Amino acid sequence: MQPLSSKSAPVSLCTDPVADLNELINKISPDKVFLLTDEHTFLHCLPLIQGVKDINKEQTITIAAGDNFKNTEALASVWQLLSEKGASRHSLLINLGGGMPCDLGGFAAATYKRGIPFINLPTTLLSMVDASVGGKTGINFNGYKNEIGAFCIADMVLIHTQFLKTLDRDNLLSGYAEMLKHALIDSPETLEKLLAIKPDAISVELLAELVADSVMVKDRYVEADPLEKGIRKALNLGHTIGHAFESLAMKKNRPALHGYAVAWGLIPELKLAVAKKQFSENITKKTENYINNLYGNHGFSSEDFEDLFSLMQHDKKNRGDRINFTLLSTVGTPEIDINCSKEEIKSAIFD
């Protein structure tokens, strides 16, 4: 294992997940080991960790794949199976999957018997650089993204980039959107490095080389503010509007990948930064063109704005009736809790 991050968010790169998981299991010394997968990771990723100590069919829990199943029913089914199979407070849960199993599995572990140890083994680029790292766990509720959850740091996040070979291009690009966001809150040099990559050059091999740097950006913000009371909110750049896009797309039965929604959300939030914080119009336009080439258009019209605005009002960063954003004054200089009016938001999305 190659440690990447601080003690506040333990993350390591690994080249041999079987050996590393066996080492961690010996260190944690659980009475039982449970594995959570979804239907996709059960088929495509579980074979890569065959031979891990104490993982067996009887203690493997498989849930439906897709963010629309990150709900109370799936959570309750995990609790139920842990209970039926005799999990104790000293049992270990390994979450093998993308953002959905890591979020839901982390929350199940945080709440079952008031908390059991868990390891995240992310299998998508999105979960490697974002969802599995930093201790956010939770589920969607009443049509709102991550409405119910808890902060709970995994005992370890093991990043094995060979899992990226199981992904299609859309899911690679979904994770790449979070890497673009990390670059925007990191430095001009990091952003230029990503924007210089031609769309047809984006590959598993290239992205695997960039994972560690992106994780370290997130780790710096998590270490500075583990419970998101302040500067960690910088990691929500693109997400206030992006989550609204994602939730409304799901309600319209045309679900969008999380990273695509974040990419679409970055454009209007950069435009808000231009209007409110004198952020560079040139960088905004360059980033907008790059995102449009990779992710296309969000497909919503001004007629959808009231629904989008209603969804934004449920964002967890808000206070009262204020809709708060993370906006940039310069690349690498995020400012948090910036209130924007309804008219400013609509103009940024649709003008």
Burial environment of residue 196 by CB neighbours within 10 A (0 to 12, 13 to 18, 19 or more) = exposed
Q: Which pLDDT tens digit goes with each residue over 27-50?
A: 999 999 999 999 999 999 999 999
Residue 234 and residue 300 in one domain: yes
DSSP assignment letter at 311: H
Tokens of 319: 């206070």
Q: What is the pLDDT of residue 314?
A: 83
DSSP-assigned letters across all residues of 181-236: HHHHTT-HHHHHHHHTS-GGG--HHHHHHHHHHHHHHHHHHHHH-TT-SSGGGGGG
CATH number at residue 338: 1.20.1090.10
Looking at the fold, whether 141 and 197 belong to one and the same domain comes out as: no
Task: Find the mean pLDDT for residues 140-152.
Answer: 92
Angle at CA 69, nearest 5°, toward 64 and 78?
65
Number of domains in the chain: 2
Q: What is the pLDDT of residues 228-261, one digit of tens each?
A: 999 999 999 999 999 999 999 999 999 999 999 9
Kindly provide the residue ranges of all beta strands, DSSP E only, lying in the chain, ordered along the sequence.
2-3, 11-13, 33-38, 60-63, 92-97, 118-122, 136-141, 144-151, 156-159, 324-330, 333-339
Q: What is the CATH number of the domain that holds 97?
A: 3.40.50.1970
Q: Which among 124, 143, 166 is the end of a domain?
A: 166
* Domain co-membership, 145 together with 212: no
Residues 113 and 246 in one domain: no
* pLDDT of 8: 57
Tell me, what's the pLDDT at 320?
A: 64
**In the predicted model, what is the mean pLDDT of residues 88-115?**
97
| Percent of the chain whose pLDDT exceeds 90 | 90
Span 194-228, pLDDT tens digits = 999 999 999 999 999 999 999 999 999 999 999 99
Asked which of 121, 139, 166 is the last residue of a domain, the reply is 166
Single out the residue in 166, 188, 218 at which a domain terminates. 166
Q: Return mean pLDDT, the chain.
A: 94
89/213 same-domain check: no
Residues 24 and 160 placed together within one structural domain of the fold = yes
Same domain, 119 and 145: yes
pLDDT digits (tens, 9 = 90+) for 285-335: 999 999 999 999 999 999 999 999 999 998 767 776 689 999 999 999 999
Residues 154 and 264 in one domain: no
Q: State residue 3's pLDDT score.
A: 82
The residue segments making up the domain with residue 11 are 2-166
The pLDDT assigned to 1 comes to: 79
150 and 230 belong to one structural domain: no
What 3-state DSSP class applies to 94? strand
**Do 141 and 217 belong together in one domain?**
no
